[in-house]
Amino acid sequence: MTCGLPYVNGPAHIAHLRTYVPADIFVRFLRKMGQDVVFICSSDTHGTPITVKAEAEGVTPLDIVEEYHRHFLEFFPKMGIHFTNYGSTDHPFNHNRTIQIVEALKENGHVYAKNLKLPYCPNCDRFLPDRYQRGTCPHCGASARGDECDQGCGRYLEPGELMDPRCSICGTKPEMKETRHYFLKLTAFEDFLREYLPSLDGTDIARNYALQWVEGGLKDWNITRNLDWGVKVPGEEELVYYVWVDAPIGYIGSTEEWAERTGGDWEYYWKGPGALIHFIGPGIIYHHCLFWPSMLKGAGYSVPDAVIASGTMKVEGHVFSKSRGYVIWVEEDYLDKGLDPDALRYYIVSYTGHTRDLDFAWQPYTEKVNKELVGTLGNFLYRTLLFANRNYKAVPEGKVEPEVREEVEKTIETIRDGLDEYEFKKIADAIIGLAAYGNRYLQSREPWKLTKTESEKAAGVIHNCLWLTKALAVLMEPLLPFKVEAIWEQLGTPRKDAPLTEALEPLEIGTPIAKPTPLFEQISDETLAELSEMASKRIEEASG
């Protein structure tokens, strides 16, 4: 299983989490159900956004890559996201794998060379690939960069498509100069894609967008650039492979890094019977559902079994935009302020369905934390553990009531449905629903009254509540991994990574129950005001 690679020209932001958090949750549940999962990611290190930034800052591309590679490597665990291997597309394995795959495509007749006339800046004395040029979008007329209509229709642009280009470094009007490039014969994969895409598992948006593109007619794809940062094309002094060639191959490169480190078998996953699952953001469906399966197929590798594309990200009601200030920098704006990583994981998956627009805003964030995590989940766990500690100091005698067991069985069923449908909100809601049931159960049985008159009954109620607490710990671990560690400690039975079936196992009577501390912290009005102010200030500064 893989997650779309973070491009390492800046720190982690909230839109990254839109993919990584659900993917991490999915992997954790798969493992709880006994699946053997290798969870792969990498830093995406090539392409012109990095070289342009390096030039602007007077450093080398490698300086930038190393700085942010380290950042992401350290960042993911802080959010509870753990990859089996987090590699780099600049690793020698990936350079070699990219060359091998393109060679295999060439041998099979899927790659050909062609001369093109492309913009060349006489002042900078070089070709202007992708972000080295700005001009006018041929589709909508908006101001655009060489690789993408970033201020208009959002379409990807192929080399040579941009109208009225200018050098983005010095502003000079470029000349057109002939240069040799390589193309992937995507048109030859049309029949394959028509047959493959309808059977591709994952979210509908991935499948449907890709099919639409096939219907609209495929074009061969330029897979090289005149640049010296990237995977060098053998025998061509001035060319590297386009970053969108070696980035997905980075999934394989990173798996090879894992295999070398652990003695694992990377080919089992990429050429053998292992299932291949990609979690991605909505902007890269084109690459993962058209180019990528065609490249794999044409080079003799397995093709993806599922592509799970998420919906888009908004911040404070507006489309996510770093330049317009609609952004949350996860370390600076969130973790460094002492806010809870689990609460953010929860918000990301519980706000809305996986393929809908997810809006991050501080007001609903605060409401969700205070009402659902503190008020419902935290409240049930704390009341149960406190009552058990004060009155029994250990798990008291009792039998799990059929009604209580049924609630847990129902929750497991809903979680399984949520996983099958890639609907993580369903899972989060089911867990809060189980805690809400626990609160109702505790409230209606009133063990605090029973202790005086019917102590055995009171103990039985608390036994049931502790059993529910254990079930919750098992079921919510993939969502709230940091908190669950604390619950296991308070329950006196560390069962990290317990299988899903553990939720239905009996409790051991007599296990000591420690004095609990509340798991979730209420967000005060003052904190909310501060956070909201930080958000509006950033938006103001960006627009001013």
Which chain residues interact with Zn ion by CB under 5 A? 121, 123-124, 137, 139-140, 142, 149, 152-153, 167, 169-170, 172
Nearer to Zn ion, 59 or 153 (CB): 153
Is residue 42 a contact partner of residue 356, using CB atoms and an 8 Å limit? no
Q: Which amino acid, one-letter code, is at 394?
A: A
Choice between 105 and 137, CB closer to Zn ion:
137
Q: Burial code of 481-493, b = ≥16 C-beta within 10 A, e = fewer?
A: bbbbeebbebbee
Minimum CB separation of residue 323 from Zn ion in Å reads 17
Q: How far is the CB of 324 from Zn ion (least distance, A)?
A: 18
For residue 133, the minimal CB distance to Zn ion (Å) is: 9
Please say which residue, 30 or 124, places its beta carbon nearer to Zn ion: 124
Q: Which is nearer to Zn ion, 158 or 331 (CB)?
A: 158
Residue 211 CB, nearest approach to Zn ion (Å)? 23
Helix, strand and coil content of the chain, in percent to the nearest 5, comes to 55, 15, 30
In the sheet that holds 358-360, the strands lie side by side as 318-319, 313-315, 358-360
Query: Which residue reads 């509340």 in tokens?
Result: 518
Cα–Cα distance between 396 and 448 in angstroms, integer? 15
Closest distance to Zn ion from the beta carbon of 207 (Å): 25
Shortest separation between residue 148's beta carbon and Zn ion, angstroms: 9
Structure tokens at 112: 């050909």
Give the nearer residue to Zn ion in terms of CB position, either 170 or 529. 170
Q: Which is nearer to Zn ion, 149 or 247 (CB)?
A: 149
Give the helix/strand (H/E) hosting 193: helix 190-196
Closest CA to 491 of 397, 406, 409, 388: 388
Buried b (16+ CB within 10 A) or exposed e, 9-40: bbbbbbbbbbbbbbbbbbbbbbbbeeeebbbb
Dist CA 309 CA 283 (whole Å): 9
Q: Please provide the size of the chain in residues.
A: 544
Nearest CB to Zn ion, comparing residues 157 and 184: 157
In the complex, minimum distance from the CB of residue 209 to Zn ion, in angstroms, rounded to a whole number: 17
Contact 505, 491 (CB under 8 A): no
- β-bridge pairing 133-136 and 163-167: antiparallel
306 strand-pairing partners = 201, 277
How near is the Cβ of 274 to Zn ion at its closest, in Å? 40
C-beta closer to Zn ion: residue 17 or 121: 121
